[in-house]
A and B are shown apart, each in its own frame.
Chain A
Amino acid sequence: METLVYIALFAPFVSSMFAALFGMSPRKTFVGIVASLLLLISFAASVMLMMHIYATGTGIHVRMMDWISAGDLSIPFGFLVDQVSVTMMVVVTLVSTVVHVYSIGYMDHDKSFNRFFSYLSAFVFSMMILVMSDNFAGLFIGWEGVGVCSWLLIGFWYHKADVTREENPSISPSWAANEAFIMNRIADLGMLVGLFIVYWNVGSLQYDAVFSALPHLSGTVLNAAALALFIGAMGKSAQFPLHTWLTDAMEGPTPVSALIHAATMVTAGVFLVIRANPLFSVTPEVSYFIAALGTFVAFFAASMALVNRDLKRIIAFSTLSQLGYMFAAAGLGAYWIALFHLAAHAFFKALLFLGAGNVMHAMNDELDIFKMGGLKKTMKWTYLYMGVASLALAGIPFFAGFFSKDAIIETAYNEGTLVLWAILVVTAGMTAFYSFRQVFLTFEGDERYKAFGIHPHEMYKFVLVAMSPLGILAVIAGFGKGSFEHFVTKLLPEYHMSEHTHHIAWLLGLIVLAFAVSGIVLAYKKYAKKLVRDEKVENSFIYKLLANQYYIPKLYEEFISKPYAMISEHMWKDVDMKIVDATVDGIAKFLYKSGDGARKMQSGNLSNYLNWMAVGAVLLLVVAAFSAMLG
C-alpha cells in the first residue's frame, strides 16, 4: 500500500519534470499525453487507496524521511492517507486528469503548450502534498506550493499589457497573478502565526500530537490558534475581505480556472478547517464566526454574480458563494457535509468552467455573455454539460448539488441559526437565477454574436469525451451521500439532524427548491427569448454597486494600494536614498579619498619610504609601550 501512496503522490511530480524538459521547445502533443497518463496513474492509485481504506476502515501512515530535525524540533516528511485525505486525493486527481486531457485541446494553439503542462502537474503535486501531509508544516509547504503554481498559471499569458480597470477589471494577467499572490501572502502570515502558536504550546506540528494535546490547552490559546489558522484559510479560499483576487484570477487560461480556482486549490481552506476539526470543535466562538462569515460570503458573492456580464467571472463568483456554503457547514460542525459539498462542487464547478472554456474557444476568447446567445445550435454538447452543471449548482433534485447544498441549509436550520438559514435559502434562489441567466444568455435566444462576425464551432470530440466523467458525476454524485457519510464519519465527527428537523426536512427542502425553481423561471422569462436591456435598471444605484463589486477593488486601490505606494515612494526617496544609500556612498567616498591621499606616499623615492618606515616603527613602538603599560 505504501507504494501506492508514493505513486499517487509522485506521478504528478514526474509529469511536471517531464514536461519541464520540453518547456522551451515548441508545442509537442505527446507532452500533454504523457502528463495526462501520469495523472491518470495517480488517479488510479488514489482510487485503489480509497477502496483499501473503505475496506479496512483504517488510514495509512507512511514516514518517508526526516525533514527538519534541530534540537527539540522534529518534522518528518510523513504522509497520512485517511478517509479525509483520500477523498481529497480522488477529487483532485480526477478533476486534474480531466483538466489535463481538456488542456490538450484547449491549449492547442498556444506556443507555451509544454510549459503549461509542467505548471499544471506541479500544481497537482503541491496539492497532493497539501492534502496528504501528516503535519502542519507539510501542509504549509503544499499550501505555498499551490500558491506559487497558481501565480505561475494566472500569469501564464504574462506578455499581455496592463489596461485600465474600466476596460478590464483585472487589468492584466500579471497584475492579477501578483494580486492573488500578495493577498495570499497576507493570509499566510495569519496561518504562520497559527502554526507558531500551535508549536509553542504543543511542541509538535504532527496532527495526532496536536489534536491529542488540545484538552490541556487554555481557551485563549485555542481561540487564537483557530482564528489564526482560519485567517490562512480565508486567504486561500478567498473569503471576504480577501476575496477580490479570485475573480481577477480568471485572467488565467480556463483549464486553470477550472482546476485551481474552482475545484481544488480554493477548497484548501475548507480542507484545513475539516482537517483541524478537533481544534475547531472546541472553539465554538471561532466556529460560529466561520459559519457567519461563510454565510455572508455566500450571499455577498451571489449578489455580485447577478449582474456580471463576464462568463468566467460569474462562475468565479459562484465558486466564492459555494465556498461560503462549505464554510457555513464546517463552522456549524457538520464537517462531513462540508467535505461532501466540496467534492460535489468540485465536479460540477470544474465542468461548468470547462464548458465556459469551450464557449470561449468557440467565440474567439469573447467573454461578454451579452454578445453571445443562441449557441445551442452549434454547441449541443457544451450546452448539455453546462446545463447539467448549472442544474447541479442550483440544487435541482437528484443532481449532485441538491444533496450537498440542501444538507448544509438543513444544518443551518438544525443548529437554530435561523438568520443564517434564511440567508442561505435566499442565496440558493440567487444561485439558480444567475447560473441560468448565464446559461440562457449564452445558449438560448437571439444570435447576437453574428453582429461581431464570429463563427462559433464545437470543441474537439476527445475533449467532449474527456469531460463526460465530470458530467456523469455532476448528475449521480449525490446518490453516494449515504455511503460517503458512512465512510468519512469514521474519522470526522458524525452529525445528525434532530428529530424535529428530520420531520420537517421535506418542507425545508421544498422551500429551497421553490426558491431555486423560481430563480430559474425568472431567468428563463427574462433571458431565454432574447436579451432586453433595461436602461433604468442598469443605471440604478444597486445595479452599479453590484456591477462594480461594491467598489471594493476601487476601495482597496484608494485606501491600501495607493497609500502604500506613497509610503513606499517616500521610503525610497527619503529613507533609502538619503540615509541608507548616503551611508554606503559615504563609506565608499571616504575610502576613495583616503586612498587618493595615501597615494602620495608612493613617491618612488627610497628615502621617503625609509622615512615612512621609521615613522611606522616608532608608532608601533609607542603602541607596544602603551599596551605594555596598560596590560
Chain B
Amino acid sequence: MIGLTHYLVVSALIFSIGLIGVLRRRNLLMLFFATEVMLNAVNIAFAAISHFYNDLTGQMFAFFIIAIAASEVAVGLGILIVLYKRYGSLDLDELESMKG
C-alpha cells in the first residue's frame, strides 16, 4: 500500500534533485528546469497531503503554483532569449557584471 510517507519521500527526493540542480548548474536554462522540478516536488506534496486530510485547499494551491510557474516560465524564457541574443551565452560564470 502506498501511503502518505511514500509520496512525501518522493517529493523530498525530487526537491533535493531540484535544489542540487539550482546549486550546481551553471547554465541559466538548466537553472530554470531545476526550479520547475522543485516547484513540482512541492506540488506532489500538496496534492498528497490534501488527499490525506480530505481537504481541497492543498490541491487548489497546487493549481495556483502550476499557473504561476507557467507565467514565470513565459517571462523567464523571454529574458533568457534577450540575454542570449546580447551575450551569446547563458553560462552564469560569464555573466558576472555586478561584482562588488
Chain A residues at the B interface, C-beta cutoff of 8 Å: 599-607, 610-611, 614
**Which of these, B22, B96, B97, contacts A614 with CB under 8 Å?**
B22
Residues B19 and A614 in contact, CB atoms below 8 Å apart: yes
Number of interface residues, chain B, beta carbon within 8 A: 15
Residues B93 and A607 in contact, CB atoms below 8 Å apart: yes
> Chain B residues with Cβ under 8 A from A603's Cβ?
96, 99-100
**Which of these, B26, B98, B99, B100, contacts A607 with CB under 8 Å?**
B26
Answer yes or no: B92 CB below 8 A from chain A CBs. yes
Residues A602 and B99 in contact, CB atoms below 8 Å apart: yes
Answer yes or no: B23 CB below 8 A from chain A CBs. yes
Sort A-B residue pairs by CB-CB distance and give the 5 closest, nearest first.
A602-B100, A604-B99, A604-B96, A604-B98, A607-B92
A-B contact pairs, 30 of them (CB 8 A): A599-B100, A600-B100, A601-B100, A602-B98, A602-B99, A603-B100, A604-B96, A604-B97, A604-B98, A604-B99, A604-B100, A605-B92, A605-B93, A605-B95, A605-B96, A606-B28, A606-B31, A606-B92, A606-B95, A607-B23, A607-B25, A607-B26, A607-B31, A607-B93, A610-B22, A610-B23, A610-B31, A611-B23, A614-B19, A614-B22
> Chain A residues with Cβ under 8 A from B95's Cβ?
605-606
The residues in B between 67 and 92 inclusive whose CB is less than 8 angstroms from any CB of A are 92
Known A602-B98, A602-B100, A607-B93; 8 more pairs at CB < 8 Å: A601-B100, A604-B100, A605-B93, A605-B95, A607-B25, A610-B23, A614-B19, A614-B22
> Chain B residues with Cβ under 8 A from A614's Cβ?
19, 22-23
> Chain B residues with Cβ under 8 A from A607's Cβ?
23, 25-26, 31, 92-93
How distant is the Cα of A614 from the Cα of B19 in the complex, in angstroms?
Answer: 8
Chain B residues at the A interface, C-beta cutoff of 8 Å: 19, 22-23, 25-26, 28, 31, 92-93, 95-100
> Chain B residues with Cβ under 8 A from A602's Cβ?
98-100
How distant is the Cα of A498 from the Cα of B96 in the complex, in angstroms?
Answer: 106
> Chain A residues with Cβ under 8 A from B23's Cβ?
607, 610-611, 614
How distant is the Cα of A533 from the Cα of B92 in the complex, in angstroms?
Answer: 102
B84 to chain A, nearest CB (A): 15
How distant is the Cα of A599 from the Cα of B97 in the complex, in angstroms?
Answer: 15
Interface of A is mostly: helix
B11 to chain A, nearest CB (A): 16
How distant is the Cα of A603 from the Cα of B95 in the complex, in angstroms?
Answer: 11
How distant is the Cα of A607 from the Cα of B31 in the complex, in angstroms?
Answer: 9
How distant is the Cα of A599 from the Cα of B98 in the complex, in angstroms?
Answer: 12
> Chain B residues with Cβ under 8 A from A599's Cβ?
100
Q: Which residue of A lies closest to B19 (CB)?
A: A614
How distant is the Cα of A605 from the Cα of B97 in the complex, in angstroms?
Answer: 8
Q: Which residue of A lies closest to B28 (CB)?
A: A606
B33 to chain A, nearest CB (A): 14
> Chain A residues with Cβ under 8 A from B19's Cβ?
614
How distant is the Cα of A610 from the Cα of B95 in the complex, in angstroms?
Answer: 14
B21 to chain A, nearest CB (A): 10
How distant is the Cα of A170 from the Cα of B100 in the complex, in angstroms?
Answer: 63
How distant is the Cα of A604 from the Cα of B93 in the complex, in angstroms?
Answer: 9
A622 to chain B, nearest CB (A): 16
Taking each of A599, A601, A602, A607, which has the highest tally of chain B beta carbons within 10 Å of its own beta carbon?
A607
How distant is the Cα of A415 from the Cα of B15 in the complex, in angstroms?
Answer: 105
How distant is the Cα of A606 from the Cα of B93 in the complex, in angstroms?
Answer: 8
How distant is the Cα of A235 from the Cα of B2 in the complex, in angstroms?
Answer: 96
How distant is the Cα of A607 from the Cα of B30 in the complex, in angstroms?
Answer: 12
B55 to chain A, nearest CB (A): 23
> Chain B residues with Cβ under 8 A from A605's Cβ?
92-93, 95-96
A594 to chain B, nearest CB (A): 14
Q: Which residue of A lies closest to B94 (CB)?
A: A605
A611 to chain B, nearest CB (A): 5
> Chain B residues with Cβ under 8 A from A604's Cβ?
96-100
How distant is the Cα of A605 from the Cα of B93 in the complex, in angstroms?
Answer: 6
A605 to chain B, nearest CB (A): 5
How distant is the Cα of A614 from the Cα of B25 in the complex, in angstroms?
Answer: 14
How distant is the Cα of A605 from the Cα of B95 in the complex, in angstroms?
Answer: 7
> Chain A residues with Cβ under 8 A from B97's Cβ?
604
> Chain A residues with Cβ under 8 A from B99's Cβ?
602-604
B31 to chain A, nearest CB (A): 8
Q: Which residue of A lies closest to B99 (CB)?
A: A604
> Chain B residues with Cβ under 8 A from A610's Cβ?
22-23, 31
How distant is the Cα of A606 from the Cα of B27 in the complex, in angstroms?
Answer: 10
A32 to chain B, nearest CB (A): 67
How distant is the Cα of A607 from the Cα of B26 in the complex, in angstroms?
Answer: 7
Taking each of A600, A601, A604, which has the highest tally of chain B beta carbons within 10 Å of its own beta carbon?
A604
Q: Which residue of A lies closest to B20 (CB)?
A: A614
Q: Which residue of A lies closest to B34 (CB)?
A: A610
How distant is the Cα of A606 from the Cα of B22 in the complex, in angstroms?
Answer: 10
> Chain A residues with Cβ under 8 A from B25's Cβ?
607
How distant is the Cα of A190 from the Cα of B37 in the complex, in angstroms?
Answer: 80
> Chain A residues with Cβ under 8 A from B100's Cβ?
599-604
A625 to chain B, nearest CB (A): 15
Q: Which residue of B lies closest to A608 (CB)?
A: B92
A471 to chain B, nearest CB (A): 84
How distant is the Cα of A126 from the Cα of B31 in the complex, in angstroms?
Answer: 79
Q: Which residue of A lies closest to B93 (CB)?
A: A605
> Chain A residues with Cβ under 8 A from B96's Cβ?
603-605
How distant is the Cα of A530 from the Cα of B92 in the complex, in angstroms?
Answer: 106
How distant is the Cα of A603 from the Cα of B99 in the complex, in angstroms?
Answer: 5
How distant is the Cα of A611 from the Cα of B92 in the complex, in angstroms?
Answer: 13
How distant is the Cα of A610 from the Cα of B18 in the complex, in angstroms?
Answer: 12
B17 to chain A, nearest CB (A): 14
How distant is the Cα of A600 from the Cα of B100 in the complex, in angstroms?
Answer: 7
How distant is the Cα of A610 from the Cα of B19 in the complex, in angstroms?
Answer: 10
How distant is the Cα of A603 from the Cα of B97 in the complex, in angstroms?
Answer: 9
How distant is the Cα of A468 from the Cα of B100 in the complex, in angstroms?
Answer: 84
> Chain A residues with Cβ under 8 A from B31's Cβ?
606-607, 610
How distant is the Cα of A604 from the Cα of B23 in the complex, in angstroms?
Answer: 15
How distant is the Cα of A614 from the Cα of B23 in the complex, in angstroms?
Answer: 8
A178 to chain B, nearest CB (A): 53
Q: Which residue of A lies closest to B35 (CB)?
A: A610
How distant is the Cα of A125 from the Cα of B28 in the complex, in angstroms?
Answer: 80
How distant is the Cα of A604 from the Cα of B92 in the complex, in angstroms?
Answer: 9
How distant is the Cα of A614 from the Cα of B98 in the complex, in angstroms?
Answer: 20
How distant is the Cα of A601 from the Cα of B19 in the complex, in angstroms?
Answer: 20
How distant is the Cα of A602 from the Cα of B26 in the complex, in angstroms?
Answer: 17
B51 to chain A, nearest CB (A): 26
